[in-house]
Structure 1
Amino acid sequence: MQITRQADYALRAVIFLSRLDDDQKASTSAIAEEQKIPPSFLAKIVSQLSLAGLIQTSRGARGGVSLARPPEKISVLDVIEAIDGPVMLNECAGSPENCTFGESCPLQQIWCDTRQELVSRLSSATFAPENIH
């Protein structure tokens, strides 16, 4: 499994925003430059993160981008799923009833357990300052 480049860029953008003071906003150009994200790509990412309720944007001279909630309340899973959708290893791990072999599949439980472990790990990893260096 590999996350998309877009999800990787989104994670970097949230890391950047998590390092700001509570009342501070960042311009998308500052995020793009420091995190080496193509600006046109970042615009789409910001839109998706905003729709997911993870960041907030405001226009104008005092505008910019900031986190919509405290960094310790945003998980790595939140960001990945906002961009890529639910974490899936294969089709039957997300919907075991769709498995061609049904309950007789020797791999189904492995895929389901592995997916659950990954989701658990990603949901417990937040952008709290002590987690992000």
Structure 2
Amino acid sequence: MQLTTHTDYSLRLLIYLAVRQEDMAATVQAAAERYGVSANHMAKVAQTLVQYGYVHSQRGRGGGLRLAQPSNRINIGTLVRRTENLRLLECFGPNSTCPIDPACRLKKILGRAQAAFLEVLDGYSLDTLVANEDELRALLGSASAPS
């Protein structure tokens, strides 16, 4: 299964926010620069994460982004379910037009594979992804410096 850029950036932004040490909030621009990605796209990702309650956003001076909940409460499987279209094929939707749908074994196999994929992700939370936070901070440059 290939994750969308939106989910990829969602995970990256959460990692970035989780490894920050200081009280100052992070900016979308700073996170995008650290990863070398589009600030426009990162802003859309941040908006999604705010909507789902993973990130708190504050406007104005001293504002920015912060995790809205502890990293051990942010489940990776749940995040992927929220940010991905998990409809692998047309027949995974309610209006399948495939003539072999009732007898299709491929659909069943792909469904089981997807369930296994998500089950593995369900076993991890953001704190697992940032257990090597010192190394991540070093790779993200000055992620702990004001931004």
- The corresponding residue for 1:18 is 18
Unaligned runs of 5+ in 1: none
SS at match of 1:41: helix
Q: Which residue of 1 aligns with 2:79?
A: 79
Moved more, 100-109 or 55-64: 100-109
* Per-residue deviation, 1:102: 4.1
CA distance in 1, matches of 2:89, 2:24: 40
> Cα gap change, 1:121/1:22 in structure 2, threshold over 3 Å: closer, same or farther?
farther
Within 5 Å, give how 1:38-117 maps onto structure 2.
Answer: 38-85=38-85, 87-92=86-91, 94-95=92-93, 98=96, 100-117=99-116
- In structure 1, what residue type is equivalent to 2:69? R
| Alignment TM-score, normalising by the size of structure 1 | 0.80
Count of aligned positions: 130
In the alignment, structure 2 segments of 5+ residues that lack a partner are 133-147
Partner of 2:143: none
Give 1:119 shift: 1.3
Identity among equivalent positions (%) equals: 27
Do the aligned residues in 2 keep the contact of 1:55 with 1:66 (CA within 8 Å)? yes
* 1:14-72 C-alpha deviation (Å, 9 max, x unpaired): 11011124855211121111122211111111111111111110011111101111111
CA distance in 1, matches of 2:49, 2:38: 16
Q: CA deviation at 1:91?
A: 3.8
- Off by >6 Å, runs of 4+ in structure 1: none
